[in-house]
Chain A
């Protein structure tokens, strides 16, 4: 019986660590100052004066094939270490002040496993102008259905 408090503390600690690990990929942890809404991005893309960002899709390939933002480059799922590596390789030679937008849209925002690792990687590399496209539900509902510019295929 005397071990119960210690056991309970260990279990509680493990639960907290598990919760932290589960939250580690959650896009909701990205600071709001590093987010951009779909309508804001569309305005930038349609503007003749605004600096165009490098747009990187860090989600599943099959989603990219079906629909993606015109000009967006496919990187792949950043929940996969290989995806993060492809992201690092792609941006390695760029100026750290480059305007980069990352997006996924596979899942509701809080469940997206890809945006947060991609954001973290770019920040770690020193990029200062990184925005994550805030997609509340999924790319279909929050981009395609809204009538925003869309491309298909590779």
Chain B
């Protein structure tokens, strides 16, 4: 069942992971951004779920490579409380809509603003992903494409409520 078996070191652009310590763990800045449908999506409406917040763009090759695996992760862990949210850095929604259809994305995608990107410390290179616990705190930040085995381990830790184990990373 585990994705790890089928995805050997796929994420070759992996650069770094920054686990938050208990004391420094901050709440993920809330935002309300338009989805591709035009409807607004508020991050706070997903409180109670484990959220993988993925800053990406259609022009970013490592981002594109990650998407099919995120689709798999969403399918695998939806019932355990995982919600992936894509935050597109594209200049407009048109290429994102095409991409969304083509890759059969199964999670919401919103269009980012400079203000929101800055609230997350600045997103000046892609991809960047944040793993947010059910209570809304940031547990992990991945800069660059993420090694799937690492990401899945973090997700399972959080969806099973073993937040304390996250400190060990």
| A106 with B114: CB separation less than 8 A | no
Measured CA separation A27–B13 after assembly (Å): 17
Is A144 touching B124 in the complex (CB atoms < 8 A)? yes
Helix, strand, loop or mixed for chain B's interface?
Answer: loop
A138 within 8 A of B: yes
Q: Does B50 sit within 8 A of A, measured CB to CB?
A: no
Interface size on A, residues (CB 8 A): 24
Q: Does A77 make an interface contact (CB < 8 A)? A: yes
Measured CB to CB, the closest approach of chain A to B70, in angstroms, equals 18
If A106-B126, A140-B125 touch, whether A62 touches B91 (CB-CB below 8 Å) is yes
Give the residues in chain B near A60, CB-CB below 8 Å.
57, 59, 89-91
Contact between B59 and A113 (Cβ–Cβ < 8 Å)? yes
Number of A-B contacts (CB under 8 A): 64
**Looking at chain B, what size class is its interface with the partner chain?**
20 to 34
A139 to B117, CA, bound (A): 14
Given B61, B91, B117, which contacts A107 in the complex, CB threshold below 8 Å? Answer: B61
Point out the residues of chain B lying under 8 angstroms from A105, CB to CB.
124-125
Is A76 in contact with B91, judged by CB distance below 8 angstroms?
Answer: yes
Q: Which chain A residue shows the least CB distance to B118?
A: A66
- B41 contacts A by Cβ under 8 Å: no
- Secondary structure class of chain A's binding surface, majority of residues: loop
CB distance from A97 to the nearest CB of B (A): 31
Could you tell me the distance in whole angstroms from the C-beta of A45 to the nearest C-beta in chain B? Answer: 19
Per-residue CB proximity of B85-109 to A under 8 Å, as 1/0? 0000111000000000000000000
Interface residues of A in 94-143 (CB under 8 A from B): 105-108, 111, 113-114, 137-141
In the bound complex, residues from chain B placing their C-beta under 8 Å from that of A91 are none
Knowing A60-B57, A62-B113 touch, does A139 contact B125 (C-beta < 8 A)? yes
Chain B residue with the shortest CB-CB distance to A59: B59
Q: Give Cα A137–Cα B127 distance, bound, in whole angstroms.
A: 11
Name the A residues within 8 Å of B113 (CB-CB): 62
User: Given A66-B124, A138-B125, are A79 and B59 neighbors across the interface (CB < 8 Å)?
Assistant: yes
Contacting residues, chain A, for B60 (C-beta < 8 A): 106-107, 111
| Per-residue B-contact encoding for A75-87, CB less than 8 Å = 1, 0 else | 0110110000000
Within residues 61 to 94 of chain B, which ones have a CB less than 8 A from any CB in chain A? 61-62, 89-91
Give 18 new A-B contacts, CB below 8 A, not counting A63-B89, A80-B91: A60-B57, A62-B117, A63-B124, A66-B123, A67-B122, A76-B91, A105-B125, A106-B57, A106-B125, A106-B126, A108-B62, A111-B60, A111-B61, A137-B15, A138-B126, A139-B125, A144-B122, A144-B124
Sample 20 A-B pairs with CB under 8 A, ordered by A number: A60-B57, A60-B89, A60-B91, A62-B112, A62-B123, A63-B89, A66-B118, A67-B122, A77-B91, A106-B57, A106-B59, A106-B60, A107-B61, A107-B62, A107-B125, A111-B62, A138-B125, A140-B125, A141-B124, A141-B125
On A, residues with C-beta under 8 Å from B are 60-63, 65-67, 76-77, 79-80, 105-108, 111, 113-114, 137-141, 144
